[in-house]
Structure 1
Amino acid sequence: MISYTIQEINDLLKGELIGNTTNNIEGPEQLQNAKNQHITFIGSSKYIKYWAESEASAVLVNDNLTVEPGDNRAVIKVKNADLAMAKVLELFNPPAPEFETDIHPTAVIHETAKIGDGCKIGANCYVGKDVELGNGVILYPNVCVFDETTIGDNTIAWSGTVIRERCLIGSHCIFHTNVSIGADGFGYRPSDDGRGLTKIPQIGNVIIGHYVEIGANSCVDRAKFSSTIIGDGCKIDNLVQIAHNSVMGRSCIMAGHSGLAGSVTLGDGVIIGGSASIKDHTTIESGATVGAGSGVMNNVKAGETVLGYPAQDAKAMLKQWVVMRRLAKK
């Protein structure tokens, strides 16, 4: 069992230690569930009231909050309790699943594929013709990487992930279970005889930058032509849809069940809330935020926050909701 003294944890965080505890810390836990071997955190004043009832031996708090340690308990004041807790979580992070052999004998690897140093390829993986894997790439069991795809150093693909042909993947990316990269974009037009639908060929690819993380069961479709692009540092939640020819700038965030229709453009640092939908050929400029459940029909300016369905300026929408609530009470 890994454990640390409160002094060792504070040395890592470089916070202000108030009080002390002789209990070793064996892991982090939520305030109300914590026991005396745990450390917890408080990032908002509304949670301070739970500290007195908690059994935790230590707590991380934002430095603008006042929290008394109590008997055999310690408080560590830090600038940002959430970020400090992330460092604590790293201390107790269990190791990833181990590979008994670097390349499992059931993996199918085309003779033209180039495999970098230190790669690990699990059972029943498929690596196609002219694929290039950089150094330290990890493919967990049942991952497929199709022809002419390139994957950069230290990228990880968890089981069930499928990366289609001709995609370009950066380094230090993480694709969680069942991610789909490079499936055909959704393109159909009524047939000439008006009796069916004609499929539009999708001949482009997907380009993903460095340090991108994509959650389980999310899809990034290939472009009709040219590329669907995910910029460096983007973080994409579970069950997210990114349609053909969309372009995301750097360090964008998309929460679960949100989606981009075709040819959407996001600037840098855009935040898309859960279940939000973005209409095709829409541009959301850098630093903008789209509230959860919103439907964006028009372009969004840099730094703007929009909300609602159809989405509009968040303050204006909130005022409308207040008026509607008042009318409903009459």
Structure 2
Amino acid sequence: MKSFTVQEISELLGGELVGNTTHKIEGAEQIEKATENQITFIGGVKYVRLWKNSNASVAIVNDNLKIEPRENTALIKVKNADISLAKLLEAFDPGKPVFDVDIHPTAVIDSTATIGVGSKIGAGCYIGKNVVLGEGVVLYPNVTVLDDSTVGNQTVMWPGTVVRERSEIGARCTFHINVSIGADGFGYRPSDDGRGLVKIPQIGNVVIGNDVEIGANSCVDRGKFSSTVVGDGCKIDNLVQIAHNCVMGRSCIMAGHSGLAGSVTLGDGVIIGGSASIKDHTTIGDGAIVGAGSGVMGNIAPGKTVLGYPAQDSRDMLKQWVVMKKLSRN
């Protein structure tokens, strides 16, 4: 088990140490649950009151908060407690599963595939024809990468991930458990006789940029005849759907259970809240925010925040909610 003194942690974070504690710190925890051998964090005023009764020996706190250490406790004051906690958690990370051999003997790798230096391939993986894995790629057990796909340097795929044919994956990406890349888009039309549905072939691919992270059980569907694109630095939560021919700009965030219908375009830095749904052929401008549970039915201007179903300007929607609440009391 890893442990650190409060002085070591303060030096690691480059913070200002106020007070002291003799306890060794063995982990981090929420302020209400922390024990004397754990560190917590206080990033906002509403959590300051909880410090009085917390069992934590150390707290990382924003330097603009008014708070004092108790007996045998310490505070580490930093500019941003959330960012500092992330850095500390890296230090406590016990590490990823270990590969006994770089390429497990049960992995099936086509003779035409190219495997970069330092790549590791776990048990039960399948690597198809003409696949190119860059250097330092890690495929945990039971990952499938189908024909003519490329995977950039140092990308990590966790068990159950499937990358369909002709997909292009950038460098330093992380795909968590059971991610689906390149499945057929959902395209059907009524048949001429009106008695069934005709499937529209989906012959495009998926292009994913660098430093993209995709959460467990999320899906990025292939384009109908071009590419579904996920831009550099995008972060996608668990159980997210990105439909065919969507184009996401750089550093977008999509929270769990949200979804993009076909041919949606997101600008750079767009944030989509949990369970929000975006209508097909909609454009959301740079820096726009879609609140959780919202339903976007039309284009959203850059920098705008929308809420509700159907989604509209957040200020207008909040006013409506206030009026409705007052009416319900009458």
Query: TM-score band, normalised by the shorter chain?
Result: over 0.9
- Counterpart in 2 of 1:162? 162
Aligned runs of 1:175-324 on 2, under 5 Å? Answer: 175-324=175-324
Alignment correspondent of 2:69 = 69
Q: Which runs of 4+ in 1 moved over 3 A?
A: none
C-alpha displacement at 1:33, in angstroms? Answer: 1.1
Q: Give, in angstroms, the shift of residue 70 of structure 1.
A: 1.2
Amino acid at match of 1:11: E
Instruction: Give the deviation of 1:46 after TM superposition.
Output: 1.0
Amino acid at match of 1:171: A
Structure 1's unaligned 5+ residue stretches are none
With the length of structure 2 as denominator, give the TM-score of the two structures: 0.99
Measure, in 2, the Cα distance between the counterparts of 1:194 and 1:74: 73
Within 2, Cα distance between the matches of 1:95 and 1:70? Answer: 33
Residue identity over aligned pairs, in percent, reads 71
CA distance in 2, matches of 1:70, 1:183: 56
Post-superposition Cα deviations, 1:268-315, rounded to whole Å, max 9, x if no partner, equal 000000000000000000000000000000100000000000000000
Residue type of the alignment partner of 2:31: L
Give the whole-Å Cα distance in 2 for the aligned partners of 1:264 and 1:254.
Answer: 13
Quick one: distance in 1 between partners of 2:163 and 2:139? Answer: 11
1:30 paired residue number: 30
Q: In 1, Cα distance between the equivalents of 2:15 and 2:85?
A: 12
TM-score, normalization by structure 1: 0.99
Amino acid at match of 1:168: E
2:70 equivalent to 1:44: no
Q: Distance in 2 between matches of 1:116 and 1:63?
A: 45
Q: Secondary structure at the match of 1:75?
A: strand
**RMSD of aligned C-alpha atoms?**
0.6
Cross-structure match for 1:173: 173
2:157 and 2:232 map into 1 onto residues whose CA distance is 17
Q: In 2, distance between residues paired with 1:75 and 1:297?
A: 47
Opposite residue 167 of structure 1, the aligned amino acid is S
Q: CA deviation at 1:99?
A: 0.8
Deviations 1:235-272 (A, max 9, x none): 00000000000000000000000000000000000000
Q: Distance in 1 between matches of 2:258 and 2:122?
A: 31
Structure 2 residue runs of 5 or longer lacking an equivalent are none
How many angstroms apart in 2 are the aligned matches of 1:106 and 1:172?
Answer: 25
SS at match of 1:51: helix
* Offset of residue 2 of structure 1: 1.2
Deviation at 1:24, TM superposition (A): 1.3
Count of matched residue positions in the alignment of Structure 1 and Structure 2: 330
